[in-house]
């Protein structure tokens, strides 16, 4: 994606969802903006919970022709026929995930603040790399993915880059020229009106 194009929205679920009402919230958000990809990112490791959540959000995503990936769980991505996986251990599992899921699946890698890890993930077959958090305090160790890293990446590397973690209107405005996607999750789900919160962030991208 050329950098002069506006970045795309990559939606991330909250770490816990109530299946009685979350699908309707998700529908309203996804109908309010063009979403490139949806990531199921739950804190639980309970397989039954993950399966039921995946079924519920897949229906909403695929009704809108939006790809659905799941955090970490390559086996569940296969079993549930999801569009791919988002790996949170940098470049370590990329080759394995690509081999298991095949050439057509989406394989993304969260690489924290490590440019080297991002490059290795790309060489190993990732479709995108994600850096973050972009705001101090969004992770316990205080590390921050600075704008200059996105700037370097967007100038030097063709592989799409995603900014995530602690996004604000000001950060979105600052990073929009140098990132391909914004992964937006808790930033909007904490708000009473998630669609309105997304709209404010989206306006800052343009």
- pLDDT class for 140, splitting at 50, 70, 90? low
Q: Is 145 exposed, middle or buried (0-12, 13-18, 19+ CB in 10 A)?
A: buried
CB 46 within 8 A of CB 19: no
The mean predicted confidence, pLDDT, of the chain is: 95
The residue-averaged pLDDT of 38-60 equals: 96
The residue-averaged pLDDT of 92-99 equals: 97
Q: How far apart are CA 77 and CA 71, in angstroms?
A: 9
CB 89 within 8 A of CB 63: no
Q: Half-sphere exposure of residue 185, counting CA atoms within 13 Å on the CB side?
A: 19
Q: Is 45 exposed, middle or buried (0-12, 13-18, 19+ CB in 10 A)?
A: exposed
- pLDDT class for 99, splitting at 50, 70, 90? very high
Q: In the prediction, which pLDDT does 1 show?
A: 32
Find, among 184, 191, 84, 193, the residue nearest to 128 by Cα: 84
What is the SS3 assignment for 144?
A: coil
Task: Report the 10 Å Cβ neighbour count for 177.
Answer: 15
- pLDDT class for 137, splitting at 50, 70, 90? confident
Q: In the prediction, which pLDDT does 138 show?
A: 61
- pLDDT class for 142, splitting at 50, 70, 90? confident
The residue-averaged pLDDT of 161-188 equals: 97
- pLDDT class for 206, splitting at 50, 70, 90? confident
Percent with pLDDT over 70 in the chain: 97
Please report where in the chains the tokens 């009106």 appear, as a residue.
193
CB 162 within 8 A of CB 179: yes
CATH architecture of 8-205: Alpha-Beta Barrel (3.20)
């Amino acid at each position: 994606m050329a950098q002069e194009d506006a970045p795309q929205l990559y939606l991330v679920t909250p770490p816990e969802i109530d299946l009685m009402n979350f699908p309707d919230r998700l529908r309203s958000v996804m109908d309010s903006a063009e979403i490139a990809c949806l990531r199921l990112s739950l804190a639980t490791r309970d397989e039954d919970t993950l399966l039921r959540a995946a079924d519920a959000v897949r229906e909403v995503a695929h009704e809108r022709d939006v790809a659905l990936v799941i955090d970490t769980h390559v086996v569940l991505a296969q079993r549930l026929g999801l569009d791919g996986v988002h790996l949170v251990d940098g470049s370590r599992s990329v080759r394995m995930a690509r081999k298991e899921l095949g050439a057509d699946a989406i394989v993304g890698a969260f690489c924290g603040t490590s440019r080297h890890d991002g490059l290795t993930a790309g060489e190993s077959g990732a479709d995108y790399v994600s850096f973050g958090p972009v705001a101090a305090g969004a992770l316990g160790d205080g590390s921050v993915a600075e704008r200059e890293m996105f700037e370097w990446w967007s100038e030097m590397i063709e592989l799409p880059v995603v900014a995530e973690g602690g996004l604000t209107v000001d950060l979105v405005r600052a990073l929009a020229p140098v990132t391909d996607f914004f992964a937006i999750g808790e930033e909007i789900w904490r708000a009473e009106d998630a669609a309105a919160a997304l709209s404010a962030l989206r306006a800052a991208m343009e």
